[in-house]
Each structure stands twice: as structure tokens, then as C-alpha cells.
Structure 1
Amino acid sequence: MEPAGSLKLQSPFSLPVDSDNKATEFRPLQISAPHMRAFHLAWFSLFCCFFSTFSIPPLLPVIRDDLKLTETDIGNAGIASFVGSIFSRLAMGPACDLMGPRIASAALSLTTAPIIMSASLVTSPTSFILIRFGVGFSLANFVANQFWMTSMFSPSVVGLANGVSAGWANMGAGAAQLVMPQIYYLLISLLDLPSSTAWRVSFLIPGFFQAVTAIMVLAYGQDLPSGSYKDFRKAIRTPKDSFTDMLYNGLTNYRGWILALTYGYCFGSELTTDNIIAQYFYDRFGVNLQVAGMIAASVGLANLFSRPMGGALSDKMGRSFGMRGRLWGLWLVQTVAGLLCVLLGRVNSLWGSIAVLCMFSVFVQAASGLTFGVVPFVSKRTEASKLVTGSNSRDDGEWRDDRSGGDPDVIVLRL
């Protein structure tokens, strides 16, 4: 029997944690509660949202012929999807600040799941555009995803955690490009459904899985290492700001706008590519629907490693050079992505286009990961009420400008 003085307090967590109980190590192959369980619930829930949102583009050639859509209709639908995701993110940030990421994420998924299912009922270009607008709202779960990771992981690994969680989730877009044409053809070959019915029935599947993952988040998730977000706010007796106050604080932070613009040029480019790339290869190079889907899938599936790589690079640059290192890394990678995007439009061969597309995907997604290596250092006041998302997690060595007098709201975001 050991003497009483030799007994050590046992940590309730399976991972080493800092003073805020945030994990200082990131082990994606584990599922231990609460840190890694939150990670897996967060990325898989968002994966289903991406799958739902991008389940429509790979079937566009079929839908286009059935609904008699014009190029203008298709373009407007893609814009509607993107605008829907922007509007919903503006609301999702304050929602996470007010109720925590778990409830906010599940509520949005359960709300938007019926919308993707109702894509089976569209009969006109107008209803098609409205469906794409509504489905785009589900991508606001990205804010909850990054908020949740920042709440669970310390600044030393938060860039990697954010990158892997978002990267694996973004693979849902690639999976949709790959899987939806297969579902469509299976419904035709196995159930002998006509084409106009098969593509409609196909949309019931992503909506179902999106709803299931939302229920899993509610049942098994935990907002913070210490428990629920509601109990945390009660314990620290934080005054409950109104939704409008949260939104105002986020919209008036110029640093959030800078990062929103930067993020629009990387993640926005990726979303645009996801929306049109299958149709582009189908029309320009004459490949069939399944081959076009497989080529388009390479964009989303590259997130398996490219976005996490960006997050890891951001953490590495931050440890070596501080905030300026994170920013220079972001600028360099995003510049290369821009050049590859220009090159993609100038290549005339099928295999050349595929090669440039793959390289572009890696760099543009790594730029997104690098962006979210900076986001957690934007503001201390509100965690999610930025155009993209925010956090109060910080490494003071990176956060503060020597000339700021130690003010934690002054952050080095200059090159």
C-alpha cells in the first residue's frame, strides 16, 4: 500500500491539458471524451452538410436537361448557394456565442436537412435556385465546427485541430461529386426508375444522414472540456449579450473583415470550383457524368491532407516566427493558389487540366487551413462573432504587439 503522500491527482482527461483544460496534444485516431469525441462529431457532422450542399452539382447535367435550366439559371443557383452560406454564417457566430457549438450545430443541421430532401420536388428554375439558397445555409456549421475545436484545443495545436477538422469535413464535397452519380445510376439500373425520378430520389439520402449526425451531436457531444456551454456561462456569471450585440461586435472588428476577404479568395474559390467543375469537364472535354464526378471529387478529397497541412504549417510558422510567420505563410500559399487558378483556365488538354486542378486544390485548401491558423487570435471579446469565426484562445507570445501595452485586444496582423 502506497503512503498517502505519494498519491497523485488523476486527470479526468485522457489527453494532456493546459490550465483551461484544453488539450495540448491532437490525436485524431482516438475517440476519447471530451476532446477527441468532439473532434469526430464536429468534422463528421459538417462532412454531411458539405455532402448535402454539393450533392446537386454532380447531377447538374441531368437536372439541367430535365428542368430546362439555362446557363444563367445555373450560375444564379451557384451564387444563391454561396450567398446562403454567407448570410447564415453571420447568424451562426452569435448563435454559438449564445448557446454553444453543439446546440447551434445540431439545430442548423436539423433545420436544413428537409431542404435538401425537398430538392426532389423542384419543378422550375426558380424553385431550383431557392433550394440551392436554402441548402447553402447548412455550411454555416463550419463556424460551429471551428468554434468547437477552438474550445477544446490549446493555441499550440489549435491550427492543426482546426485544419484537420475542417479538411476532413470539406471532403464531403468531394465525396458528393463521387457518390451522387453512382447513386443516380444505381437507382436507374436496380429499381428501373426513369431519369427524372432517379435524380429526385437521390437527394433523400444526404438529407437523412445529415439529420442522423445532428442527433448524434446532441446525444454524445460536449461543448467544453468542463461541460456544457450553458453551465460554463452560469459559473463565470458572464452577462448574456444580446444576439445583436454579438453580431455588432463581430461586424465592427476590422481584423475580421480582413480575414473574411482573405478567406473569400481561398475558400470562396474552392466553393466556386466545387459548384462548376463537374459540369466544366462534362461540357468541355466530353467525359460522361461518372468520370466528370470522379475528376471533380479530387477537389474535395484533397482536403484529407491539404487543409490540415495548412493548419500544421501555420502552427509551425507561429512557433518559429510568431504572428508574422503565420501571415507570411498564408500570403505565400494563397498567391501560388491564385496563379494555379489562372493557369487552370488556360490549359486545353484533359490530363493537363486534371493535373493543374489537383495542384490548385492542394494550395487553395492549404490557404484555408492557414487562414484558420490566424482566426483564433483575432479577438478576445467574442469567440464566433466574426464574419468567419473567432476565439479567445491565444498564445500571448504571438498575440501582443510590444507597443500595445499588453492590451489583449491588440493583435499583430501586419506583415
Structure 2
Amino acid sequence: MYNPMLLFKAPMVNPINLKAESIPALNVVNMYGRVWFFSWFGFLIAFWSWYAFPPLLSVTISKDLGMTTTDVLNSNIVGLLATLLVRLIAGPACDKFGPRLTFVGCLLIGAVPTFLAGTCYTIGQLMACRFFVGILGGSFVPCQVWSTGFFDKPIVGTSNAFIAGFGNSGGGITYFLMPAIFDSLVRRQGLTPHVAWRVTFVVPGICIVAVAIAMLLLTDDTPTGKWADRHQAAQRNLQAHGIQETIVDAPTGILAKEDDSSRSGSSSPPAVDEKTLEAGQRRPSKYADHEAPLSEQSMLDTARGEIVVKPTMKEMMHIIITPQTLVCGAAYFCTFGGELAINSILGKYYLRNFPRLGQTGSGNWAAMFGLLNVVFRPIGGLVSDYIYNKTGGSVWAKKYWIAFLCVGTGVFQIVIGVLDTRHQPTLIGLVAGMAFFMDAGNGALFAYVPHVYPQANGVVSGFTGAFGNLGGIICAVIFRYIGTDYAKSFWIIGILTIAMNLPGLLIKPFPKGQIAGR
């Protein structure tokens, strides 16, 4: 039975990589609690700014810049292009520089075009601005990699799902915040709509910079310290537990320095005083009171297979083209990709079917689609971790859960497209049903991703995240070329979703020869 006190207490940790076995979500004094908070809050702020345009684009910005429906849809596609590229770069960057610094970099770079949004006076300038604002969407990759680095296998799915779910809710919050800020500037400050929408973008810009600075000052790279020291820390923790074997996957530079030192007759100070380690004795670490029980072989597997290494280009390409990574990409292509595209047009779809709602009313109902991430995405991760633990660590169970959710997403999309109902409660209910399967699918997927290549989690996460954006672009192109017949676009995307995910059931969950992640 789950103990609510775990939300406050310092967690038990893996003795080798010091990853937490529970989530102290309500304890921001604790290192793990701080990282968990800033992971989701940083992504929420980024998502808010990334999707700050659509709530005002339907009426205000379109009218001010003389944009057609086609121009709006084209700008939605452009807004996803930079994110696709940034996510591909962010994955390897996480493995090289660490997810924390990569996260902060995405936020600070993305803040610049956010502040400059108000300087757009032509459609071309708006397109360029939306492209560069898309950098903020790349922050999803370091957000998930950072979480994976702090929370261990039995709980990582829940952690990633809650973080992403809370973060993705920024796509719904923006539909409330941007119109509300705009309306306040017009009605209370007396600004014209032409000026007000430009000033509105200053607010998310300030929030992004503030959160990025706080992350730099208040959080850590890894549970063991600096990113560059992670391999040495794992080696020290092995020695502290009486295990003298060398980590085979540590970067060659580290091992070479150790070999050179021993050959030259000099040696660096041992991490552990061997005189204090008698046969079978373990020297307690500073986390001794919070160490989870782990067998010697499990400790070795953790150190050898789960300590992130800097992959070469050849290794990255091999990882990307393996079937397991492609399965992750295909699933996220349909779930998150569909979500991105639908987020961009849902307000206009509601406005077309229910004109009486107006810009603010349709935006508020469209916001509910994004806000459901707060509940539904965590469910995907929670169930995934539950079935994983109940089946004795079966990753197959996680894969079946993902496939079920993806197929369910496709079914709801087909139903929405076929009915194209003008009955408001019915359409909103169907969209909510689709959101459950779609959001839970996102959460379940990133409960599975850490198992695929733990030693190159950034590469897998970056590729998967980028494929989600590619899905968003393809789905946005479908909406773009079919035009205002949104229903037809929905059922086409539904068929695509089912067709892309069923074949993945035939693929084994682990790459050949993998020693960790199970």
C-alpha cells in the first residue's frame, strides 16, 4: 500500500547511482524534491511560451497582421520545426553536458524570441519568431533525462509521467493565461489590441528567465554531484560496498588516466581506505541510512549499464536505427505528435462548430484538452510502473500497455472524425476520451524509454522526442491541406495512429546483449 509520507520524506536510494526509490514531491528542501519540482515547472513555463501564439492567433493576431487560415496553419507547422531539430540535438547534449545545463540552455535561448514576439509586424516576421520560439519545446528532452537520472527503475515511469503531465498542462494553461492577460491589458490598462497582444508576450519571457536562473542556483546535475564526475562517483560507490571491479562502460579517458598513473608508479588517492574494508564489509556512505537493498550483481549491472556515457556518432546512429528505439519514436509520433497538432487547431475547431463561444470561450474549452495532461499522463506512468513491479519487472507488460493506449487513441480520433458532431457536450466528451488514451500513452512511453538504452538515455529520449515533433508536423500538414474540414483530418490521423503502432508488438523490448534496464 502506498505511504503518503513518501511525498515528504527523504527517499531510499540506489547505493551505486544514488537514484531515488520514491518521489518526495512535497519536499523541495530535499535534493530529489527540488529536481522533481523544477523538471515539471520548467517544462510547464517552456510549454506555455511555446504555445502562447495559438490562443491569440485565431482572432486577434490574425486580424492585426492580415493572416488567412492557411497562414495560421502554416505558422503552426513552422512552430514545430525548430523543436524537431532542437530535440535531436538536445538528446546527445544531455549525454555530453548533462540534462540540467541543456535544460537551462533551452530556456534562456528560447526566452529571446519570446521577448521579441511583440516586434513582429509582418507574416514573415511572425513565422521566423514562431520558428525560434520552438526551441523551448526542446526542453522536454532534458526534463525527462534529468528525471531519469534522479529516480530509479521502479519509480521512473511515475516520475517522468507526472513531470511531463504537469509540464504539458502548459499547453492548456496558455489558453487561459494569454487571453486573460490580453483582456486585462485592453480593458484595465486601456491598450489597443494592436499593442496589447505584443505586451502580453513579455510575461512568459520574464517567467522563463526567472526559472532558468533558479535552476542554476538551486539544483544539481546528478545525485552523485557534477555531471563530469558521474563515472568516478559510481566507481567509488562500488568500492565503498566492497566491490573492486572496474566499470567497463566508463569513458576510455578516465580508465586511461588510471592506467597511466599506475604504470608511472604514481596513483591517485583511493576512493576508499582499503584497510577499513575487511572481507565482506561495506563502508557506509553518507546515504547509508537511506540505501535500498541491492545484490552485488545488480550493483555491477547498474554501474556498467546505467551510467550515462558520451556516445560516438557511430554509436548514436546504431542506437537510433534499432527496432526498440524506432518503436518508441513511432508511438510518440502518434501520441504527442497528434497532441501538438490538435492543440494548435482545437480552438478553431470549437469556434467553427460552436460560433457562440467566441475567441475566449473556445479557447477555454480547448485549454481543457491540454490541462487533462495533469491527470491522464501520470496515469499512464503510474499504471506502467504498477504492472512492471507486479509482473516481476516485465518490460513486455509496459509495451503491451503502450500499444493498448495508442490503439485507443486512434479509435477515438476516428469516432470524432466520423461523427463531427455539433452537440457541444458530445464533442467535448469525445475529445476528453481521446485525451485520456493520448496523454496516458505519452506517460507510459517515457516509463519504457529508460529501459531501452540506459547508458545512452539522452540519445533515445532525444530521438523519441524529436519523432513526437515530426508527428506534430505531419499531423499539422494534414490539417493544413485538408483545411477547415477538421473532422476528416481527425479520422485520417486515427487510422495512421493504429497502423503505426500495432506492428511494434512483435518487437522485443530489449536490444540484443543489453545488460541493464531490465
TM (normalized to structure 2)? Answer: 0.71
Question: Contact 1:98–1:243 (CA<8 Å) still a contact in 2?
Answer: no
| 2:469 is the counterpart of 1:378 | no
SS at match of 1:51: helix
Deviation at 1:342, TM superposition (A): 2.1
The partner residue of 1:261 within 313, 330, 354 is 330
Distance, in Å, in 2 between the alignment partners of 1:347 and 1:84 is: 35
Question: Contact 2:454–2:516 (CA<8 Å) still a contact in 1?
Answer: no
Question: Contact 1:311–1:370 (CA<8 Å) still a contact in 2?
Answer: yes
- Identify the residue that residue 340 of structure 1 maps to in structure 2: 412
- Identify the residue that residue 195 of structure 1 maps to in structure 2: 193
Deviation at 1:252, TM superposition (A): 3.5
- Identify the residue that residue 305 of structure 1 maps to in structure 2: 375
Distance, in Å, in 2 between the alignment partners of 1:242 and 1:149 is: 20
Distance, in Å, in 1 between the alignment partners of 2:175 and 2:223 is: 36
SS at match of 1:111: helix
Question: Contact 1:147–1:389 (CA<8 Å) still a contact in 2?
Answer: no
Structure 2: runs of 5 or more not aligned: 1-8, 236-249, 254-309, 467-507
Distance, in Å, in 2 between the alignment partners of 1:135 and 1:400 is: 36
Deviations 1:329-385 (A, max 9, x none): 111122112111222232222221111112211221001001111100111441201
Question: Contact 1:95–1:243 (CA<8 Å) still a contact in 2?
Answer: no
Question: Contact 2:396–2:509 (CA<8 Å) still a contact in 1?
Answer: no
- Identify the residue that residue 317 of structure 2 maps to in structure 1: 248
Percent identity between the two aligned chains: 26
Question: Contact 2:79–2:133 (CA<8 Å) still a contact in 1?
Answer: yes
SS at match of 2:10: coil
The partner residue of 2:42 within 37, 42, 45 is 45
Distance, in Å, in 2 between the alignment partners of 1:14 and 1:166 is: 22
Aligned AA for 1:293? G
Question: Contact 1:149–1:161 (CA<8 Å) still a contact in 2?
Answer: yes
Structure 1: runs of 5 or more not aligned: 1-12, 391-397
- Identify the residue that residue 228 of structure 1 maps to in structure 2: 226
| 2:345 is the counterpart of 1:271 | no
For residues 13-162 of structure 1, what are the structure 2 equivalents within 5 Å? 14-19=10-15, 20-60=17-57, 61-162=59-160
Question: Contact 2:48–2:173 (CA<8 Å) still a contact in 1?
Answer: yes
| 2:388 is the counterpart of 1:388 | no
Question: Contact 1:16–1:25 (CA<8 Å) still a contact in 2?
Answer: yes
Deviation at 1:149, TM superposition (A): 0.8
SS at match of 2:153: coil
Distance, in Å, in 1 between the alignment partners of 2:375 and 2:227 is: 31
Deviation at 1:108, TM superposition (A): 1.2
Aligned AA for 1:367? G
SS at match of 1:168: helix
Distance, in Å, in 2 between the alignment partners of 1:125 and 1:312 is: 43
Question: Contact 2:157–2:382 (CA<8 Å) still a contact in 1?
Answer: yes
Distance, in Å, in 2 between the alignment partners of 1:151 and 1:410 is: 14
Deviation at 1:86, TM superposition (A): 1.1
SS at match of 1:385: helix
Deviations 1:222-245 (A, max 9, x none): 121111212325656624747745
Aligned AA for 2:374? L
For residues 362-377 of structure 1, what are the structure 2 equivalents within 5 Å? 362-377=436-451
The partner residue of 1:281 within 325, 337, 350 is 350
Deviation at 1:253, TM superposition (A): 3.4
Question: Contact 2:114–2:201 (CA<8 Å) still a contact in 1?
Answer: yes
Deviation larger for 227-236 or 66-75: 227-236
Deviations 1:91-122 (A, max 9, x none): 00011101111111101100010111211111
Deviation at 1:185, TM superposition (A): 0.5
Q: 1:183/1:51 Cα in 2 relative to 1: closer, same or farther (>3 Å)?
A: same
Aligned AA for 2:197? W
Question: Contact 1:81–1:135 (CA<8 Å) still a contact in 2?
Answer: yes
- Identify the residue that residue 408 of structure 1 maps to in structure 2: 514
Question: Contact 1:380–1:408 (CA<8 Å) still a contact in 2?
Answer: no
Distance, in Å, in 2 between the alignment partners of 1:245 and 1:137 is: 26
- Identify the residue that residue 291 of structure 1 maps to in structure 2: 361
Distance, in Å, in 2 between the alignment partners of 1:220 and 1:411 is: 30
- Identify the residue that residue 357 of structure 1 maps to in structure 2: 431
Distance, in Å, in 2 between the alignment partners of 1:79 and 1:176 is: 18
Flag the structure with larger Rg.
2
The partner residue of 1:317 within 387, 392, 398 is 387
Deviations 1:396-415 (A, max 9, x none): xx9769xx6xx326989xxx
Distance, in Å, in 1 between the alignment partners of 2:166 and 2:331 is: 21
TM (normalized to structure 1)? Answer: 0.88
- Identify the residue that residue 328 of structure 1 maps to in structure 2: 400
Deviation at 1:127, TM superposition (A): 1.6
Distance, in Å, in 2 between the alignment partners of 1:85 and 1:360 is: 24
Question: Contact 1:90–1:247 (CA<8 Å) still a contact in 2?
Answer: no
Distance, in Å, in 1 between the alignment partners of 2:224 and 2:380 is: 29
Q: CA RMSD for the aligned pairs?
A: 2.2
Question: Contact 1:58–1:279 (CA<8 Å) still a contact in 2?
Answer: no
The partner residue of 1:176 within 174, 177, 183 is 174
May I ask how many residue pairs the two structures share in their alignment?
389
Q: 1:411/1:301 Cα in 2 relative to 1: closer, same or farther (>3 Å)?
A: same
- Identify the residue that residue 215 of structure 2 maps to in structure 1: 217
